[in-house]
Amino acid sequence: MAPNGDRSPTCQLLREDPDLGEAIPPALWGQALGECIAPVARIARGPWSGERPSVSRDAIGLLVLEGLMIRRVGVDGRFGAELLGEGDLLRPWQTEAAPPILARTTGWRVLAPTRVAVLDERVAQRLARYPQLTGQLVGRALERSRNLAINMAIVHQPRVDVRLRMLFWHFASRWGQVTPQGVLLPLRLPHTVLADLTAARRPTVTTALTELARQGLLVAVEDHWLLDGEVPGELLEVDARLYGRTSIDGY
């Protein structure tokens, strides 16, 4: 796959990602489980070139089964970033049809060892037997674009502490676990990564995190984060505009 990745055996997509096949009729579930298989690639922690595996450029892409990575895009030394993890659909080798007007710098970094399903042309032929899966994969791509829209709304908040709270609760709606102590977010996110995700400077992020911890709203627990309090109203407002709802699913 990439210089720091290695190919491993196939996986059953619907066992690894049950939500993917939620629309398949129950009578076909067992058959689909056995037929919808895909090669798996592993990507080690560290910089990643994002190059495609030995598949056609027309392959569907890579489906993240587990792990965490960040994609950074910069113009004139200023960077924005996107956090990607379980359930996300990637096509890192895809380029724009026309050259960009502004010179951009793009880079990938794997934050936690990552496994991806390689959805190549052979896999596409298997998935085509179940039209419901096409809608699910398109939905994953649209969901990623919506997450980017939320990120854009977050970085436009004037206060960095508000950006951080919104960002963590946004991640909690995807990967959080409810515990008696609060919502546990099992993501290792260094301050430098949080700075990229919030379009802020690292020292400013550190100061804001210290203040949030003092208020008991956000606490680092080993490699995890513990959230307490209510979902920020600013995030609820963004969520309502994008999805037409007044609460974040699950919280």
Per-residue pLDDT band for 94 (boundaries 50, 70, 90) equals: confident
Per-residue pLDDT band for 70 (boundaries 50, 70, 90) equals: very high
Structure tokens at 176: 């959080």
- At residue 97, does pLDDT exceed 70? no
| Residue 136 sits in the same domain as residue 210 | no
Beta bridge partners of 73: 80, 106
At 98, the pLDDT band (50, 70, 90 cuts) reads very low
What pLDDT shows up at residue 104?
52
Strand duo 5-12 + 89-90: pairing:
unpaired
Q: What is the pLDDT of residue 9?
A: 84
CB 217 within 8 A of CB 98: no
For residues 30 and 137, state if they share a domain.
yes
In a domain, 149, yes or no: no
In a domain, 249, yes or no: no
- E strand or H helix at 135: helix 132-155
Q: Is pLDDT at 7 greater than 80 in this prediction?
A: no
- Does 128 lie in the same domain as 160? no
Task: Answer yes or no: is pLDDT of 5 > 50.
Answer: no
Q: Identify the band that residue 204 occupies on the pLDDT scale cut at 50, 70 and 90.
A: very high
- pLDDT at residue 241, as a whole number: 79
* DSSP classification of residue 156: T
CATH number for the domain spanning 119: value is 2.60.120.10
pLDDT at 107: 86
Residue 66 domain-assigned (yes or no): yes
Distances (CA, A) of 176 to 72, 147, 151, 172: 23, 16, 17, 4
Q: What pLDDT does residue 2 have?
A: 42
| Whole-structure pTM value | 0.85
Q: Treating both helix axes as pointing N-terminal to C-terminal, what angle do 132-155 and 160-175 enclose, rounded to 10 degrees?
A: 160
Per-residue pLDDT of 118-145, as tens digits, reads 999 999 999 999 999 999 999 999 999 9
Give residue 118's domain range: 5-143
Question: Structure tokens of 113?
Answer: 């060892």
